[in-house]
């Protein structure tokens, strides 16, 4: 199954929050342990810097036993313009993709526009940690039933197989009264660029979604 979002419009003078290129090295390779509920698997992510759309883009390929992902991010704006996920289980294989061609909607100065929430973890590497306190995450071309806000919740040192890493701690939560049903999630990014994701924790949420955890195992700057 494939879902493609196509927005045909004139290019806008965007006013949403200014994301910053974290200068991810070409060939960066990251290995994570991913656990959800009772199951776990290893996730391998590789970043390539490519020329596309008359500019440079980050192409991120993620592979694991349960899902493969491809995400493309424009380096100039750090916005996701393509996201694809192939999810697998014992009974099915499902492919979903979204492609953003053009967008004329103007975001607010405290908004980050998101094409696909599967790509959020990559996009937040560009969060202006030092200058922004919080931001709203809004979906491109859709109305958000459960608005999400991300904020810098402080700094913490996270232990990894490679040693302790100083990190920014981001808190993500649904705003308003619905926040009672959706517990907050947390993500830790290295203070030093290129702001790699070091850890992520999401508790069991509404609708019976199991708790999940991501932990850094290996990191290589690549070429």
pLDDT digits (tens, 9 = 90+) for 125-157: 999 998 878 898 888 876 666 778 899 999 999
| Per-residue tokens: 165 | 């890493």
| Per-residue tokens: 215 | 């932990």
Q: Is the pTM of this model over 0.75?
A: yes
**79-81-84 Cα angle (round to 5):** 120
| Per-residue tokens: 31 | 């290995």
pLDDT digits (tens, 9 = 90+) for 176-221: 666 666 788 999 999 999 999 999 999 876 556 788 999 999 999 9
Q: Give Cβ neighbours of residue 207 (< 8 Å, ≥ 6 apart).
A: none
| Per-residue tokens: 76 | 């100039």
- Cα separation, 59 vs 152, in Å, equals 26
pLDDT digits (tens, 9 = 90+) for 12-56: 334 466 889 999 999 999 999 999 888 899 999 999 999 997 899
């Amino acid at each position: 199954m494939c879902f493609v979002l196509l927005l045909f419009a004139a290019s806008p003078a965007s006013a949403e929050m200014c994301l910053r290129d974290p200068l991810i090295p070409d060939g960066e390779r990251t290995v994570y342990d991913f656990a959800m509920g009772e199951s776990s698997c290893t996730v391998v992510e590789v970043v390539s810097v490519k020329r596309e759309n008359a500019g440079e883009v980050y192409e991120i390929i993620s592979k694991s036993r349960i899902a493969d992902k491809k995400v493309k991010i424009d380096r100039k704006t750090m916005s996701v313009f393509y996201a694809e996920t192939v999810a697998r289980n014992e009974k099915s294989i499902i492919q979903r993709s979204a492609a953003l061609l053009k967008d004329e909607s103007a975001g607010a100065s405290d908004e980050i526009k998101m094409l696909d929430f599967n790509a959020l973890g990559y996009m937040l590497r560009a969060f202006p940690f030092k200058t922004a306190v919080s931001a709203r995450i809004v979906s491109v071309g859709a109305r958000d039933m459960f608005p999400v806000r991300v904020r810098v919740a402080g700094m913490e040192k996270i232990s990894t197989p490679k040693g302790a890493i100083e990190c920014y701690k981001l808190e993500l939560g649904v705003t308003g009264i619905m926040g009672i049903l959706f517990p907050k999630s947390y993500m830790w990014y290295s203070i030093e660029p290129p702001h790699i994701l070091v850890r992520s924790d999401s508790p069991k949420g509404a609708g019976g979604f199991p708790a999940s955890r991501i932990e850094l195992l290996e990191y290589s700057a690549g070429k």
